[in-house]
Structure 1
Amino acid sequence: MKKLKESEKSYLDLAKKYEAAETVNQNLEKRIQDELAKNREKDYVLIQQSRLAAMGEMIASMGHQWRQPLNSLSLLVQDVREALEFGEIDDQYIDRFTRESMIQIKNMSRTINDFRKFYQPNKEKTLFSVGESIEDALTIFSTSLITHKIQVEFEYRGQYMAYGFPNEYCQVVLNLLANTRDAFVQNDINNRKIIIKLAETEKDITAEFIDNAGGIDQALLEKIFDPYFTTRIHGTGLGLYMTKKIMENMDGSVMVENIGDGARFCLSVPKVAAAVKPELMSV
């Protein structure tokens, strides 16, 4: 009888310990979920800050791209008064005026569409062409490249289809281009050049960005992807950090190393075949 009571007591003790352990586990799980939520919120804030910084860059670029068509439209409008005074306005003049005006307006409209496309968020992963996303980024950044006399060599064959967020990938490329441009300026480099190469393995599409901007201080290589870390005078320290976060969010990666007289950034993102189930690809 005594042994039975001791057994019951041991059972109750074990039950209490189990209940206490369950409570601890539940509390720990809740704390983990709370911390994950906080981290997601922090990442969201950083993404928005990064996008705002990129938006400033884009608005400046857009202003440069609009300058020429606006100037052409201004000349066309001013010519109307002189054409009227000299009696040159006829059907042929109106046709030419309309045709040339519409060419400039379409150029401006295309610029707006390029920027609007970039800022539309991708809520779900999708198939996209890495080459085309890089081309979109180069188009948006073209004015800055011309202004700072940066030559870009980029030649690719094939689609190099990946699985992820195309607009976010485009933002990553813009971050790298802006970072390299600033390095060229800060280091006062002549004959500025960026070489972009695409390659693929069984699982990944890899894009290499090789520059001759002087490289990165070896002591800083491990820190450049940290939030708010920057070597630029007016840098935010968010561009490369968000580059890392965006690539990881696509199950990809980014790495950097010094090579020759510059640096090599390497972006890897999953291929379609490695990321999508065969039955989904046939849908």
Structure 2
Amino acid sequence: MYKEFIIFLILLVFIVFIIVRRFHNKLKRLEENYQCLDKNFHLEKNLTIELEKRIEEEVNKNKQKDHMLVQQSRLASMGEMMASIGHQWRQPLNNLSLLIQDVSEAQEFEELNDQYINRFTNESMVLIKHMSRTINDFRKFYLPNKEKAVFSLSESIEDALSIFSLSLKNHNIHVQFEYRGQQRVYGFQNEFIQVILNIFMNAKDAFVNHNIENRKLSIKINEDELFYMTEIIDTGGGIESSLLDKIFEPYFTTRQNGTGLGLYMTKVILENMHGNIKAENTGSGARFLLFIPKLAAAGIPESA
């Protein structure tokens, strides 16, 4: 009986040893697996951090590229804008010249008195303020917006019409602009003005290239629950149907000396404001629809 107990005890110890050893080996494998998983986790974490860093760098590069293209697009239209400044300054300069010449005659005929001097000063200051306001309008447009802000769509379109007024007059383009209210949105106002100017210049080129006699631009601002939609319709003959899907691609142009940046940058600017642009043909021309979120849809309070 004692001998059997000893054998049983030895067997029990052996079984326990086998179980413990197997448990130890299993525990060791689990530990190795854990270390491997931990190593892989840190590796994946490092790869994720590196990937996020690279993505951020590429996004920043693309933002810088888009910013440079916006500036390049602006410079491409600067000649026309400078011509507008010259046009708006020509009449005030002529009037100032006449006022100055009149001083000599007034002195010759002994008409220089307090009343004459006051009239001369007031009329001169009105002309100078008009010229200064013109320069400020153009300077404001060419200064890049550093931060997004709330601005009025209708006022921005009026600014673009003012800047483009010389081309409208010289090319006999008649504009009808229908709007009610301010239609306030959130974004970069100067860039939006550039969007409008890009479309105006494309319409002007269409009128000239197609020898259109009845040159009209119709501008409306509509809205739905989420977006304001600026609609610009021209009578310039429309866009070739095979090109409609290409006109917003970078460097695509049908003009001999075109940069191919205008409509591409128009799309980029609106997308940076969480908007969009669509183009389609009408019976006599092209229609551009510019979508920009309302303040509420953009998460901006109406009181901003």
Relative to the length of structure 1, the TM-score reads: 0.91
1:263 aligns with 2:286: yes
1:139 aligns with 2:139: no
1:249 aligns with 2:272: yes
Between the aligned partners of 2:182 and 2:164, the Cα distance in structure 1 is 21
Count how many residue pairs are aligned between Structure 1 and Structure 2. Answer: 281
The structure-2 alpha-carbon separation of the partners of 1:250 and 1:214, relative to structure 1 and needing over 3 Å to count, comes to same
Give the one of 231, 244, 256 matched to 1:233: 256
Query: Which letter maps to 2:217?
Result: I
Between the aligned partners of 2:198 and 2:165, the Cα distance in structure 1 is 14
Aligned to 2:7: none
Larger radius of gyration: 2
Between the aligned partners of 2:303 and 2:266, the Cα distance in structure 1 is 31
Aligned to 1:204: 227
**Superimposed CA distance per residue, residues 229-265 of structure 1 (whole angstroms, 9 cap, x where no aligned partner):** 1111222111111111111111111111111110001
Give the one of 56, 62, 73 matched to 1:39: 62
Query: Which letter maps to 1:157?
Result: R
**Counterparts in 2 of 1:144-159, with a 5 A limit?**
144-159=167-182
Between the aligned partners of 2:160 and 2:250, the Cα distance in structure 1 is 23
Between the aligned partners of 1:96 and 1:8, the Cα distance in structure 2 is 97
Query: Which letter maps to 2:79?
Result: G
Unaligned runs of 5+ in 2: 1-20
Aligned to 2:212: 189
- 1:74 Cα deviation (Å)? 1.4
Give the one of 179, 186, 189 matched to 2:202: 179
Relative to the length of structure 2, the TM-score reads: 0.85
Between the aligned partners of 2:30 and 2:295, the Cα distance in structure 1 is 60
Query: Which letter maps to 2:289?
Result: C
Query: Which letter maps to 1:127?
Result: V
Unaligned runs of 5+ in 1: none
- 1:111 Cα deviation (Å)? 0.6
**Counterparts in 2 of 1:68-217, with a 5 A limit?**
68-217=91-240
Identical residues among aligned pairs (%): 61
Query: Which letter maps to 2:272?
Result: N
Q: Secondary structure at the match of 1:274?
A: coil
Q: Which moved more, 1:28-37 or 1:231-240?
A: 28-37
Query: Which letter maps to 2:74?
Result: R
Whether the 8 Å CA contact 2:80–2:167 is kept in 1: the answer is: no
Aligned to 2:14: none
**Superimposed CA distance per residue, residues 188-226 of structure 1 (whole angstroms, 9 cap, x where no aligned partner):** 211200000111111111110000111111111111111
Whether the 8 Å CA contact 2:83–2:166 is kept in 1: the answer is: no
- 1:53 Cα deviation (Å)? 2.2
Q: Which moved more, 1:165-174 or 1:137-146?
A: 165-174
Q: Which moved more, 1:11-20 or 1:249-258?
A: 11-20
1:276 aligns with 2:299: yes
Measured on the aligned residues, the alpha-carbon RMSD in Å equals: 2.0
The structure-2 alpha-carbon separation of the partners of 1:44 and 1:161, relative to structure 1 and needing over 3 Å to count, comes to closer
Q: Which moved more, 1:30-39 or 1:17-26?
A: 17-26
Between the aligned partners of 1:4 and 1:110, the Cα distance in structure 2 is 82
Query: Which letter maps to 2:30?
Result: S
Between the aligned partners of 2:62 and 2:94, the Cα distance in structure 1 is 48
The structure-2 alpha-carbon separation of the partners of 1:103 and 1:26, relative to structure 1 and needing over 3 Å to count, comes to closer
Aligned to 1:22: 45
Aligned to 2:12: none
